Chain A
Amino acid sequence: MGKEKMRKKEFICIVCPNGCKLTAEVSEESGGSSVNVTGYSCKRGKEYGQTEAVHPVRSVTSTVRVTGGDHPLVPVKTVKEVPKEKIFECMEAIRALSVAAPVHIGQILIRNIAGTGIDLAATGNVKQVQ
């Protein structure tokens, strides 16, 4: 009757404005693969709890410099969440980048940003100006 070793974590869900209080129990023997989440009120919350307990990820949103456009910047986002510890590395890549107008919403500006396997996409349009 060896009791399983559990790591308990409590945090607030960030997927929507409800801010549910989640409790996640991670079985240490499973190496983090077995997570029991309680307190969620939707499917996305459950998924968030499972990821957050083991390896937190976040979307990164920022802006990229644009030359020759009707705006000096275009807003961007990582198309999926990146590991939390990679956020500042992503920011370095974003800051180093400058693109020429036009830029279209959804256009991929960086592939595999900071080695995360995730792309960076424009979230706005910038028109070219002569």
Chain B
Amino acid sequence: MKRIEAVIVGGGPAGMAAALSARQNGLENILILEREEELGGILNQCIHTGFGLHTFGEELTGPEYAARYVEKIEKEKIPFYTGTTVLEIQSEEQSKLKTVTAVNRIQGVFQLQADTVILAMGCRERPRGALNIPGFRPAGIYSAGTAQRLVNREGYLPGREIVILGSGDIGLIMARRMTLEGARVKAVAERLPHPGGLMRNVVQCLEDYDIPLKLNCTVAEIHGRERIEGVTLVQVDGENRPVPGTEEFISCDTLLLSVGLIPENELTAAMGAAMNEKTGGPMVSETLETSVPGVFACGNVLHVHELVDHVSREAEEAGRFAAEWVKKR
């Protein structure tokens, strides 16, 4: 079995910054495992600006931010396998060595032995199933991030008449993006009395394009059997109960959900690491070490961050702590 000092699970902003930091702190033998076909993670589909003010002192788009790190990874000759999904991480009680099982098209299922593992898998979106909206399951309902991928990476516009449920940043960004591509965003409904995303995004993504933001409002019903035909919006009171008589039908062919992100921790939990119910991520020490010795976590897999710059900074810490851990062995 191939022995690696630090295996990094995920080649997004957290994984790349952790790998670079581990290298700077003395680890030679590092490997990044990335599920997608290239490094960069979610940044590759975040084509809007707003990244890197802290890290680089200038405002970059997501792909530009990612490219700067990819360049460094290549310069440092840090190896990475793309198209590679990690299936399992096991920790040997006595030796504290980790066995990482992964699969890709070239090697099939394979195993690596690692001194330390840095978890950098990021997060995923809360799906419709988590929301308990009654109705059929017609086509035309997407999470905002899925729509973002379709529009920005694959070149498909998911629909022409859009309602967005939830006012997270991705939903706000997509309201603008779809408007620019010729769709009509009829409303953004937010259950809470305040928007979920940043105020700057409410201003530059909704107000700039006269897209109504309906606060204290949610989707009560989804209409349509084959394809979504519309939604019924309803006002909610402070206790999150629908207020009778406030129902409003809005026709649409697409409903986007921007209702929160969940750290992606199946691997972490299966490894037996103690989890934090509040963040959805693993419990970590002040050195970002999980309850499994020598396994570190950083970025959105640990807790959902507002800014990628914060992810990068945290991941640098994790990389350094992981390197120190290996040297102490």
Flag if B61 contacts A77 (CB, 8 Å): yes
User: Is B327's CB within 8 Å of the partner chain A?
Assistant: no
CA–CA, A117 and B152, complex, Å: 25
What is the 8 Å Cβ interface bit string for chain B, positions 178-200, against chain A (1 contact, 0 not)? 00110000000000000000111
User: Is B306's CB within 8 Å of the partner chain A?
Assistant: yes
Question: How many inter-chain contacts with C-beta < 8 Å in the A-B complex?
Answer: 74
Residue of B nearest to A63 (CB): B152
Flag if B203 contacts A12 (CB, 8 Å): yes
Of the candidates B64, B153, B307, the one whose C-beta lies within 8 Å of that of A73 is B153
CA–CA, A63 and B177, complex, Å: 10
Flag if A71 contacts B49 (CB, 8 Å): no
What is the 8 Å Cβ interface bit string for chain B, positions 48-61, against chain A (1 contact, 0 not)? 11100100000111
Interface residues of A in 71-90 (CB under 8 A from B): 71-73, 75-77, 84, 87-88
Majority SS at the chain B contact face: helix
Instruction: Name the distance in Å between B194's Cβ and chain A's nearest Cβ.
Output: 12
CA–CA, A128 and B266, complex, Å: 36
Flag if B199 contacts A61 (CB, 8 Å): no
CA–CA, A11 and B62, complex, Å: 26
Residue of A nearest to B156 (CB): A72
Of the candidates A12, A77, A125, the one whose C-beta lies within 8 Å of that of B49 is A77
Given the known interface contacts A13-B200, A63-B155, A124-B63, the answer about A84 and B208 at a Cβ–Cβ threshold of 8 Å is yes
CA–CA, A19 and B154, complex, Å: 32
Of the candidates B49, B154, B198, B200, the one whose C-beta lies within 8 Å of that of A61 is B49
Which A residues are closer than 8 A to B by beta carbons?
11-17, 19, 58-63, 65, 71-73, 75-77, 84, 87-88, 91, 95, 105, 123-125
